[in-house]
Amino acid sequence: MRSYFFKIGTFIYNLPKKIIGYPFSKLYFLKSLLTNDHQNHLEILYHSNNFLVVSKPYDMVINSDNPDLKHSLQAEVRKRFPNLVNPSLCHDFHFVHRLDYVTSGVICLALNKKAARAAANAFANRKVKKYYLALVHGHIQSPYIIIDKAIGMDIREKDGNHKICTIDSVYCEKPRESYTTLLVLERGFRDNKPATKVLLYPETGRRHQLRVHCAYIGHTIIGDYTYSEKQDIEPYRTFLHSFRLILKTSLEDLDVRTSDPFVTSNSRNCWRPTEFVRVLDENTFSDVGLLIRHSNNWNNRRLLKK
């Protein structure tokens, strides 16, 4: 059988043609197995009678109908908290929201029907705030950008990885308005190439919204194979992390955050900041709110510069 070489970090694997023909999501999973990228522990961020908040490792699915897929967040939580499993649910738990396979960070589970209903109402009434950290390619010169660009399904990818595209693509189907606020935190170099660390706040919650919007402004998230036109395969992960979740419900208010995974102390990040624009503190989060209030006319959104 003909084979191909597939580079993963500093290693080169000889893979059969049959595997190369698979969707890249399966190759990504193979990469994780070969390099043992997954974290071997589940970080618990918050636990009450109503909610469990954990930090999802990168390159991990939330749940799956595939019985052969043993490595999922559902499986990890089930192993850690077997007493919390709800046998009446298809996937054992009420997952309040979702994260992409490649995205790490804060994710919330409701532990009973009342909590699940309260969380759903919070999302419906816009009482939820989610903040993400990312390393993107290139140096973003503006201190902030407000991105107003509708996105929809790429009709070429319906049976593939569910890729999304912006409304100006001829392949865009059923676009929906989408808004993202981006604040620059640091500029520097990742593996000796220009890069920027940013804080991202999605005002809308579309599939792949942050990844599509970063690609749209010309600063693709580092390691994002799908939105780098299948070019960015060298990094050990996609540099997108769910950093903070604020969830205000009728039962209790949650404000949970993780540590910043994109730090210089982790040598795998290959990240060297050279310019510090903002500190990741409450003033920065307040600035996000100010920017949103100053541009809250949905019909007149545009790219803004200070």
Can you say how many angstroms the Cα of residue 112 is from the centroid of all Cα atoms in its chain? 26
Return the closest-CA partner of residue 218 out of 141, 157, 276: 141
Is the pLDDT at 27 greater than 70? The verdict is no
> Domain holding 91: CATH number?
3.30.2350.10
Query: Is residue 273 assigned to a domain?
Result: yes
- Is the confidence at residue 184, as pLDDT, over 70? yes
Q: What is the pLDDT of residues 72-84, one digit of tens each?
A: 999 999 999 999 9
31/45 same-domain check:
no
Distance CA 161, CA 11 (A): 25
Q: In terms of domains, do 239 and 137 share one?
A: yes
Domain count, the chain: 2
In a domain, 15, yes or no: yes
Q: What are phi and psi of 279, to 5 degrees?
A: -90, 145
pLDDT of residue 293: 82
Higher pLDDT, 240 or 295: 240
Give this prediction's pTM: 0.85
Please check whether residues 142 and 250 belong to one and the same domain. Answer: yes
Q: Which domain holds residue 74?
A: 37-300
Q: In sequence order, what are the residues at sequence separation of 6 or more whose Cβ sits closer than 8 angstroms to the Cβ of residue 230?
A: 24
- The active-site residue out of 37, 59, 100, 154 is 100
Domain check: are 17 and 80 in the same one?
Answer: no
Active site includes 100?
yes
Residue percentage of the chain with pLDDT more than 90: 72
> In whole angstroms, what is the distance from residue 245 CA to residue 256 CA?
5
91 with 9, same domain: the answer is no
Query: Average pLDDT of 242-252?
Result: 98
Residue 247 pLDDT > 90, yes or no?
Answer: yes
Averaged confidence pLDDT in the chain: 86
